[in-house]
Structure 1
Amino acid sequence: MLRSMYSGIGGMRNFQTKLDVIGNNIANVNTYGFKKGRVTFKDIASQTMSGASSAQNNRGGTNAKQIGLGAAVASIDTIMTNSSLQTTGRLLDLGVDGDGFFVVKNGNQQYYSRAGNFDIDSVGNLVNSDGLKVQGYAMNPTTGLPNTSKLVDLSIDKNATILPQATTFAKYAGNLDSNAANGTSYSMDMTVRNSLGNEIPITVVFTKQNATDWNVDLNTTAAGYAVTDAAPLFTVRFDATGKAVPVGNAGNYTITSPAPASPITLNNAALDFSGLTQTAAASSVSVKEKDGSAGGSLTSFTFGQSGEITGVFSNGQVKTLGQIALATFSNPGGLLKAGGNTFQESNNSGIPNVSTPGNSRGVVQAGTLEMSNVDLSEEFTDMIVAQRGFQANSRIITTSDQILEELVNLKR
């Protein structure tokens, strides 16, 4: 009799736990990046009244007689299924299309989150809604690739500037008239920049030497600037089809500027005339590509699918400012909920595998946020089941109490 009462008490306690979890799920139905919980039950020890017996010569075997002693909570699981991404259009809202977690840091403690509603604090740090700093990789200034050996606090300095870049390369395209007489010159104007970003007007003069060769000379009339030629002058040579062929020019052109700007040296590797042709058409040459830029300040930034933060500067230059890191776990369901839409590593989650977005980690979708994976229809159904289970277990107690009352009333 008492066994049934304690079984009923245990069942009521279990369903109360299930209702607590359901209530938390429903409360977080609109929490970005929230992962719902689920309660499962198991039976606990059974009292064996008699053991099982094996078959004998004249009699078959019998099963054991056991009375169960109730149920207990088997697990409270965190369901890590991905939810849909909601479009917000906000630049700093990031969603992960994959299994990865954002890495955020509070002092020396590292946390993991699926909620990407980030912001920029007063000193430029990229932070979540609780001020935890988003982790990622700094860019190697030499290779332009992320330094994945160490996580750093990502920052976006809206007052960032970029230094000017001197011209080191120019590629030409167009045609030189094959019918032009020897000694005929064709001039085109272009600009280059020195180490301080000053724009220098340059005239490029092509002079026909013979049926296949044109000499190239550079000069400028800008005050304070000069072009010196290290002989011989560059030669552009064409084959019988009018296509430019390599010559191996040995000289170079040095453009000097007023101090403290450094001189610009353009050699055979810097000036590319391979895009020119020599046909029976009027001469027309233009600059197809060139580098060099003035200094600039940050005007905007974007997040790419690979997590890179790309800054656009007022001089038209584009520079990668950093790259967001994502973490995966061998058992993400083993993570501990730490509050504030964050998780912590546990003994059963496995160590974090942190790297750049891609593969199973997924990609970053800017302007979106992951919604909660709570399904209200499922939660309300489970709530009804839990409520009825609680009521049924309460009936066990009241029925057992009534029988005990009858026993007590046997002796009046």
Structure 2
Amino acid sequence: MLRSMYAGISGMKNFQTKLDVIGNNIANVSTVGFKKGQVTFQEMMSQTASGAQGSTGARGGVNSSQIGLGAQLGTINNIHTQGFRQTTNNPLDLSIQGDGMFEVVLVETPNGAGNTFVPINFDAAGGGNTAQVEDRFYTRAGNFYLDDRGFIVNSEGMYLVGFEYVDGNPVDSNAPGVLRIPLDAQSFNISTNGTVNYIDANGENQVAGQIGLANFANPTGLTKEGNNLYRESQNSGGVERVLPEESTSSQIISNSLEMSNVDLAEEFTEMISAQRGFQANSRIITTSDEILQELVNLKR
């Protein structure tokens, strides 16, 4: 009976964790770029009452007899499926159709940087006209802004990473940098391949650069850092920076945001399942307790 009680406790803990994840999913149903979590369980160790025996000339084989000792938490995965797109009519609201993530960095940009593209050196401290990297993250949240110098930043003030664009062609997808739209630009727009175009003070069309995307071999292995940001982990694989036009499955859609991929109908169904599972495991404990009480009452 004690084994069943501890098995019931393990089940209750697991379903409580599942309810925590479901609650977080529902709380972020309207969070831009949020990716829902999914909980899986796995069997805990088993106690072997009798081992397996092979067949002999006189009789056949016998299976082992094992008693399970409950369940334990298997994984909590981030599901990186596509969220629905919401139109905002803001040219700096960007959504990704397909794979990839925006790369944003905290950098010390050169003082008085007036160029539309400031290169980043990720491997060494910045010097001269190179920005010095302090930290970097990845996100599907595309709600960007222009800061007081015209750099494209997110709500945390982190710079959006892109690539230089010269004479109608991207320079090098292995040479990232931060993009800047001149303050005297009359207007600007962002195309589906990430190219940032603007009309300068003379009324001529110019290109500030091209927004890049970051791909990972295992995006579910990225570590959540809060504020819609992810960080590279040992199991995510290294970052591969690509241009949207190089990835036929990815496009950058301006004037729109990718919303959460949480499905409320699915979450409520999972909530009911977790609630009933919690109740069933609590019933195991009360039933085991009643049987123990009967055993105690045998001694009058």
Q: Does the alignment reach a TM-score above 0.5?
A: yes
Q: Distance in 1 between matches of 2:192 and 2:267?
A: 34
Conserved? CA contact 2:36–2:262, under 8 Å? yes
Q: Distance in 2 between matches of 1:393 and 1:329?
A: 39
Q: What's the CA shift for 1:150? A: 2.2
Deviates more, 1:100-109 or 1:39-48: 100-109
| Aligned residue identity for 1:319 | Q
2:144 aligned with 1:118, yes or no? yes
Identify the residue that residue 48 of structure 2 maps to in structure 1: 48
Identify the residue that residue 349 of structure 1 maps to in structure 2: 236
Q: What's the CA shift for 1:84? A: 2.2
Q: TM-score, normalised by structure 1?
A: 0.64
Identify the residue that residue 106 of structure 1 maps to in structure 2: 106
Q: What's the CA shift for 1:56? A: 2.8
Q: What's the CA shift for 1:143? A: 7.3
Q: Distance in 1 between matches of 2:206 and 2:89?
A: 23
After superposition, what is the alpha-carbon deviation per residue over 1:357-381, rounded to whole angstroms, capped at 9, x for unaligned? 1315611111011111000000000
From 125, 144, 150, give the equivalent of 2:175.
150
Identify the residue that residue 171 of structure 1 maps to in structure 2: none
Identify the residue that residue 58 of structure 1 maps to in structure 2: 58
Conserved? CA contact 2:26–2:262, under 8 Å? yes
Q: TM-score, normalised by structure 2?
A: 0.87
2:297 aligned with 1:395, yes or no? no
| Aligned residue identity for 1:9 | I
Identify the residue that residue 253 of structure 2 maps to in structure 1: 365
After superposition, what is the alpha-carbon deviation per residue over 1:124-160, rounded to whole angstroms, capped at 9, x for unaligned? 12111111111112334x776434342222222222x
2:81 aligned with 1:81, yes or no? yes
Q: How does 1:162-177 map to 2 (within 5 A)?
A: none
Conserved? CA contact 1:327–1:361, under 8 Å? no
Identify the residue that residue 340 of structure 1 maps to in structure 2: 227
Conserved? CA contact 1:25–1:37, under 8 Å? yes
After superposition, what is the alpha-carbon deviation per residue over 1:322-348, rounded to whole angstroms, capped at 9, x for unaligned? 111110011111111111111111111
Q: Distance in 1 between matches of 2:92 and 2:232?
A: 26
Task: Give the match's secondary structure for 2:296.
Answer: helix
Identify the residue that residue 92 of structure 2 maps to in structure 1: 92
From 300, 303, 306, give the equivalent of 2:190.
303
After superposition, what is the alpha-carbon deviation per residue over 1:35-75, rounded to whole angstroms, capped at 9, x for unaligned? 00000111011100001122233333221110001001111
| Aligned residue identity for 1:3 | R
Deviates more, 1:113-122 or 1:380-389: 113-122
Identify the residue that residue 31 of structure 1 maps to in structure 2: 31
Conserved? CA contact 2:174–2:241, under 8 Å? no
Conserved? CA contact 1:92–1:119, under 8 Å? yes
Conserved? CA contact 1:154–1:322, under 8 Å? yes
Q: Distance in 1 between matches of 2:38 and 2:26?
A: 12
Task: Give the match's secondary structure for 2:165.
Answer: coil
Q: Distance in 1 between matches of 2:262 and 2:298?
A: 54
| Aligned residue identity for 2:57 | N
Number of residue pairs aligned between Structure 1 and Structure 2:
273
Q: Distance in 2 between matches of 1:395 and 1:143?
A: 69
- List runs of 5+ in structure 1 lacking aligned partners: 160-297
Percent identity over the alignment is 52
Q: Distance in 1 between matches of 2:242 and 2:219?
A: 16
| Aligned residue identity for 1:309 | V
Identify the residue that residue 130 of structure 1 maps to in structure 2: 156
| Aligned residue identity for 2:294 | E
After superposition, what is the alpha-carbon deviation per residue over 1:206-250, rounded to whole angstroms, capped at 9, x for unaligned? xxxxxxxxxxxxxxxxxxxxxxxxxxxxxxxxxxxxxxxxxxxxx
RMSD: 1.5
Name the larger-Rg structure. Answer: 1
2:235 aligned with 1:379, yes or no? no
Q: What's the CA shift for 1:9? A: 0.5
Identify the residue that residue 405 of structure 1 maps to in structure 2: 293
